[in-house]
A and B are shown apart, each in its own frame.
Chain A
Amino acid sequence: MRSKFLIPGFLLILLPFFNVFADQHPKIPLLDENGDNVIELAKQNGQKLVINGKTYYKGHPYSPEQTCGACHDYDAITKAYHFQIGATEVNDNWGKKHPQFHYDRLLSPGQYGSW
């Protein structure tokens, strides 16, 4: 079996803590679809709920594309098959062009298009 499993037990206990520091992500704002900071904008708008002493401000939904895409290549990442699930191949005539799958109505070989 892999040698990395032979790490002494006391080091295994510490390993998660090393990971926490190793994987520390910079602080970021949560952004909405327009690229605005959701909490800043929500505070400016001033609509709030106070629930058991906790103050919640009404704001725009957070946008992962804007928030994470500010640094990460959202377009490239979402080209992966987990996101596309067949859409990269979708076509109204896909089934006719692939007779080995037997069905004209299929639009792609994946979830999106054949489901």
Chain B
Amino acid sequence: MAKKKNKSQLTFDIGTPDEVATCASCHPGGGPYEYDRQGRRMDKVDPNTVPDLDGDYYAYNVDDIVKGTLTKPKKFDWRKSGSLEADCMTCHLDPDAKRVTDANGVKPVAYNPRVRIFAKRVHGKVQAVSLGIYPGKEWQSAFSYSDPLSISKNKFEAGKFYSDLTNPMADARNYMRMPYVEGEGSHFTNLKAKRKFLGNFFREAPSAGLMGWDNNQDGYPITYVKIVKQKNEFVSEVYYEASEFDEDGEIQIPMLSSKASEDGSYKWTRVCGQCHVGIKDPINGSFKVRTWGMGMKADIVKRGAILNLNPQTEKAPGYDVHIAAGLECTSCHDRSKPDSVDWDDYVTDANHNFLKGNDTGNHVRDDLDNNPPPKNCYFCHIKDGDGPDPSDAHAAVFGSASKAHIDKIACQTCHVSHVRYWSFRTFDYSLGFSYNYDNRHFPNPKGGMMDVLLKPYYGPIPAYGMGNISWLVGSIDNDNYSTDQLAPVAYMDPDKSNDMYGQMYQHMTGKKGFDWKPVLIYAKTARGEQIIPANPITIQTWYDKTLKKVVYPRELNAAVKGIFHDKKGQSYALLITGAKIYDKTGFMGHPDMKPEISTLNDIQKMRAALIKVLKKEGEKNPNPVLFLAAHYFKVSHGVLPADQALGANGTCTSCHGENGEIEHRVVTFSPNSIQGFAEGVKKGLIYVDPEAKYIKPYDLDGDGKADVLGATQKEVLKITEENLKESTRIK
């Protein structure tokens, strides 16, 4: 994020416009997406009065970032885009009432539905885009590579409305914040796919969000949004269906208020789940983050959170005892209406600061942490709630150790023993976005590049491309060691047996689906300092010691020309210096075709390229070093039945003893080790964040070669306890 005041682009990462374009897929608007850091509505500010390089009014666009632009950012036209207002309908439009029904009988969600995006092209150049409604035969899919109309099972009839449930790029509101078409425009590195961005339409995004709402149930949404080319730019058009409104131009909104809870509909859980967790839609059966794809539900990527509203077994992914008992997100996180306030008064300006605990991964409004706490395990089961008190049952099994454990260990530590969905573990940006799988031309396991594009994986970020990201998919537990099983994200589709990458994953792992164990750490909870389960998200990138900044993605991308394959089929990253960094590691012994930094020589090569980049930007003495950090995200949901808890066998061996979690486990932070790691740290070529200072190479299988960067569970507990005491001391 760029500062408000900047002297040069050397301190300019991304501006507020980029933040809105990227992050508004979940964030509802309002606040900094509407008002600048001086409290002025951004689309009302005269651009001529804006200082040079103001972080709220300058931006690098997507192409700039991916291509590695080193020149100054451009002034952003907020008056054209509009500010992004907070859209109350995101949460308050009843998710079930008055959904539109498309031409195929499908009912997408009421707010922000996935609609088919059509494009009209002349000589291959897009002239107009239509959301949802198919205007006629001269129109094709906007996503000509990844989602052409020809692969649809359905025929398209002019004038009818179509949803597109499996395309995460096609959420109507989200599309408008950064719309693009495939088949023209920019292409990156050595890949074939092209994409063209049409602008940012923040002002129109809420109107597009209403395209799942059909108030008069005539099969057409209340709003219809188009983007059309006028001269050399694209502009948007919003239409309203007249018959949806009454004679006074008013409309009855099916409103979801905070009173609607625990009625068996899980409406609030589904509303919160739009951004936080994966949930299957009970009406159309779609899973907005596909079970085999990726998505940006915040708590999936941090901690593998999905909620199964209709589980077949207690070991089904997403099973949660409290969801099974009918509780909603609001059951615990709602800030209850004070008895002294009348409902009619309360609903007009209700306090929207929902009850929250505290997460170790970020520190937004720490003053609200557990103030008051959400209705957590302790509140309902021991202190004050209606949940059964487990104290006697625990004492009966564990005897005198029971109380000490309940005091020192948060309930979820034992009762969220497994997570059965993927999460992220490692973000490796040390070779920039060079993999660029968002172009979706992947290396073909049979050789060369795939000719067809996979459907977009990373919906909410349609353009940036990504680094080398590893999923946390399972656990490996054998006589020699226990550790986490990580898998390269881009190359597989683990739940889908007819996908070649899915087949590869299943062949290599012998597994289908996911099942991993959280890491145990010390952290602050509502009850003090306790052991809790967590997922350490690990970052590997570059840090410039001179400017004390993490090197920006556009700078990393400027250092790498792309990923190429030599005559032997070996993958390598080609740097701007001409140096090559080869793929030397793989997934479970198989080459993964993703080059990575795994030696000190690799570090020196990329460092030289980055020095060249930073000098080109005007920095006199750049000093980029490889940077490692890890932040823990708590795993607090997905509570399992007692018979799946740690210690369910009535003994202490789940955690203690030779094969217990504490003694036996190595936590994998990065699936690739770096030869000469200690020497690199000593020489200052590698900088490890103080919070994660224990990360080092581990030889798991005893063959004399380090396999991963990790730490033992015991070390993690020791140092997180020390870090906690240190952070308490500083505060």
List chain A positions with a Cβ less than 8 A from chain B.
1-5, 12, 15-16, 19-20, 22-25, 27-30, 33, 37-40, 42-43, 48-49, 51-52, 54-65, 68, 71-74, 76-88, 90, 92, 99-105, 107, 109-115
**Chain B residue nearest in CB terms to A88:** B365
Q: B-side binding surface: helix, strand, loop or mixed?
A: loop
Complex formed: what's the CA distance from A67 to B301 in Å?
A: 34
How close is A79's CB to chain B, nearest CB, in angstroms? Answer: 8
Q: Which 8 A-B pairs have the closest CB atoms?
A: A109-B363, A73-B349, A80-B352, A56-B239, A78-B30, A110-B364, A87-B32, A25-B255
List residues of chain B with CB within 8 A of the CB of A111. 23, 27, 362, 364
Contact A82/B28 with A65-B86, A103-B548, A109-B363 known, Cβ cut-off 8 Å: yes
A60 near B352 with CB under 8 A, answer no
B253 near A28 with CB under 8 A, answer yes
From A55, A81, A85, A114, contact of B242 by CB (8 A): A55
How close is B132's CB to chain A, nearest CB, in angstroms? Answer: 10
Residue B220, interface by CB 8 Å: yes
How close is A107's CB to chain B, nearest CB, in angstroms? Answer: 6
B240 near A56 with CB under 8 A, answer yes
Known: A19-B260, A49-B239. 16 other contacts (CB 8 A): A2-B385, A22-B259, A23-B260, A25-B253, A55-B243, A58-B237, A64-B85, A72-B349, A77-B349, A80-B352, A83-B28, A85-B31, A87-B37, A100-B730, A110-B365, A112-B31
List residues of chain B with CB within 8 A of the CB of A59. 238-240
B31 near A87 with CB under 8 A, answer yes
Contact A115/B19 with A57-B239, A61-B82 known, Cβ cut-off 8 Å: yes
Complex formed: what's the CA distance from A25 to B87 in Å?
A: 17
Residue B342, interface by CB 8 Å: no
Can you list 18 contacts pairing A with B, beta carbon distance less than 8 Å? A2-B386, A2-B387, A4-B262, A20-B97, A25-B252, A42-B239, A56-B224, A56-B242, A61-B206, A62-B206, A64-B85, A65-B34, A71-B348, A72-B349, A77-B350, A83-B86, A87-B37, A103-B548
A113 near B1 with CB under 8 A, answer yes
B257-288 contact mask (Cβ, 8 Å, vs A): 1 or 0 = 10110111100000000000000000000000
B250 near A112 with CB under 8 A, answer no
List residues of chain A with CB within 8 A of the CB of B240. 30, 38-39, 42, 56-57, 59
Residue B5, interface by CB 8 Å: yes
List residues of chain A with CB within 8 A of the CB of B580. none
A78 near B86 with CB under 8 A, answer yes
List residues of chain A with CB within 8 A of the CB of B628. none
B5 near A109 with CB under 8 A, answer no
List residues of chain B with CB within 8 A of the CB of A87. 31-32, 37
List residues of chain A with CB within 8 A of the CB of B223. 62
**Chain A residue nearest in CB terms to B364:** A110
B690 near A15 with CB under 8 A, answer no
How close is A102's CB to chain B, nearest CB, in angstroms? Answer: 6
From B250, B325, B356, B364, contact of A28 by CB (8 A): B250
List residues of chain A with CB within 8 A of the CB of B253. 25, 28
List residues of chain A with CB within 8 A of the CB of B257. 23, 25
List residues of chain B with CB within 8 A of the CB of A105. 11, 548-550
From A52, A62, A78, contact of B160 by CB (8 A): A52
List residues of chain A with CB within 8 A of the CB of B385. 2
Residue B451, interface by CB 8 Å: no
A84 near B249 with CB under 8 A, answer no
**Chain A residue nearest in CB terms to B726:** A100
**Chain B residue nearest in CB terms to A5:** B326
B250 near A63 with CB under 8 A, answer no
**Chain B residue nearest in CB terms to A22:** B259
From A61, A80, A86, A103, contact of B351 by CB (8 A): A80
List residues of chain A with CB within 8 A of the CB of B727. 100
How close is A113's CB to chain B, nearest CB, in angstroms? Answer: 5
From B264, B348, B362, contact of A109 by CB (8 A): B362
A16 near B263 with CB under 8 A, answer yes
From A51, A74, A115, contact of B159 by CB (8 A): A51
Complex formed: what's the CA distance from A23 to B346 in Å?
A: 13
Residue B138, interface by CB 8 Å: no
**Chain B residue nearest in CB terms to A59:** B240
Q: A-side binding surface: helix, strand, loop or mixed?
A: mixed
List residues of chain A with CB within 8 A of the CB of B252. 24-25, 27
**Chain B residue nearest in CB terms to A42:** B240
From A40, A49, A107, A114, contact of B249 by CB (8 A): A40
B2-39 contact mask (Cβ, 8 Å, vs A): 1 or 0 = 01110000010000000100010001111110100100
Which of B3, B160, B251, B255 has its CB near the most chain A CB atoms (within 10 A)?
B3
B1 near A72 with CB under 8 A, answer no
Residue B717, interface by CB 8 Å: no
List residues of chain A with CB within 8 A of the CB of B587. none
Residue B643, interface by CB 8 Å: no
B246 near A68 with CB under 8 A, answer no
How close is B389's CB to chain A, nearest CB, in angstroms? Answer: 12
How close is B138's CB to chain A, nearest CB, in angstroms? Answer: 16
Complex formed: what's the CA distance from A5 to B34 in Å?
A: 42
List residues of chain B with CB within 8 A of the CB of A19. 259-260, 263
List which B180-236 residues lie within 8 A (CB) of chain A. Answer: 203-204, 206-207, 210, 218, 220, 223-224, 236
Residue B731, interface by CB 8 Å: yes
B325 near A82 with CB under 8 A, answer no
List residues of chain B with CB within 8 A of the CB of A107. 1, 3
A115 near B1 with CB under 8 A, answer yes
Complex formed: what's the CA distance from A102 to B689 in Å?
A: 8
Residue B354, interface by CB 8 Å: yes
From B4, B262, B368, contact of A92 by CB (8 A): B4
A61 near B203 with CB under 8 A, answer yes
From A30, A72, A73, contact of B251 by CB (8 A): A30
B689 near A82 with CB under 8 A, answer no
B32 near A84 with CB under 8 A, answer yes
Residue B630, interface by CB 8 Å: no
**Chain A residue nearest in CB terms to B90:** A64
How close is B361's CB to chain A, nearest CB, in angstroms? Answer: 11
List residues of chain B with CB within 8 A of the CB of A22. 259
B86 near A12 with CB under 8 A, answer no
Which of A39, A51, A64 has its CB near the most chain B CB atoms (within 10 A)?
A64
How close is A18's CB to chain B, nearest CB, in angstroms? Answer: 9
List residues of chain B with CB within 8 A of the CB of A48. 239
List residues of chain A with CB within 8 A of the CB of B362. 109-111, 114
Residue B241, interface by CB 8 Å: yes
How close is A67's CB to chain B, nearest CB, in angstroms? Answer: 8
List residues of chain A with CB within 8 A of the CB of B730. 99-100
B88 near A72 with CB under 8 A, answer yes
